Amino acid sequence: MNRIEKSGKSIEEALELALVELGATIEEVDYEVIDAPSKAIFGLIGGKEARIVVTRKKADPVQVAKDFLTRVFEAMRLRVHIEKITNEDSVTLNLRGEDLGILIGKHGLTLDALQYITNIAAHRESSERMRIVVDVEDYRRRRADTLQQLAQRLCERVKRSGQQVVLEPMNPFERKIIHVSLQDDPEITTFSEGEEPYRHVVIAFRG
């Protein structure tokens, strides 16, 4: 529920009733007075209650994501600085601090899970769609560099041997890095096989 109409003896009372029903604070809403309250003549006739329309403000998904992550880190007793980086089609929340390896996990699996639930939390409270990337100390950039170098090495191996190479299971983001790295090589083709979470890339010789 994002919009509600309420009446009360005063505007303040009507607003308080609306906030309780919406489960919101005054900072999270806008309101419009439809009818101002008026007193009855001689206390008998003509009295009118205040009537207002209260609308929940559109939440900023990035701010919601930052607030969500802050609560998670407080529960984990981690001191984390969240750096916001705006990209062309997404926003990256880069986490910096000490001993944050626990947030990455093996091959970034924990980080992927954290990013997934952060996006759910952010878009549950906002109609605005924004892809939010969660990173730790530029791990994703460094991992991308590593995978690009790996792709080139394995590409040369396939050309020398003529035998295809099967890589370890990767998430969709990492598989895409391999595919894009080798997509312009006329002698090489890449494709994915298997089911999640064991889906992997195969590098093969076209000839």
Q: How high is the pLDDT of residue 207?
A: 66
Q: How confident is the model at residue 45 (pLDDT cuts 50, 70, 90)?
A: low
Q: For 151-174, write each residue's pLDDT tens digit.
A: 999 999 999 999 999 999 998 889
Average pLDDT, integer, range 56-75 = 90
Q: Distance between CA 85 and CA 108 in Å, rounded?
A: 20
Task: Specify the CATH number of the domain 61-137.
Answer: 3.30.300.20
Percentage of the chain surpassing pLDDT 70? 94
On whether the 141-205 domain is CATH 1.10.3720.10, my answer is no
Q: How confident is the model at residue 60 (pLDDT cuts 50, 70, 90)?
A: confident
Q: Distance between CA 180 and CA 36 in Å, rounded?
A: 63
Domain spans in the chain, listed from the N-terminal domain onward? 3-56, 61-137, 141-205
Identify the bridge partners of residue 203 per DSSP, sorted by sequence position: 165, 190
Q: How confident is the model at residue 29 (pLDDT cuts 50, 70, 90)?
A: confident
Lowest mean pLDDT among 3-17, 102-116, 119-133, 159-173: 119-133
Q: Distance between CA 73 and CA 26 in Å, rounded?
A: 27
Q: Work out whether strand 80-86 and strand 50-56 pair parallel, antiparallel, or are unpaired.
A: unpaired
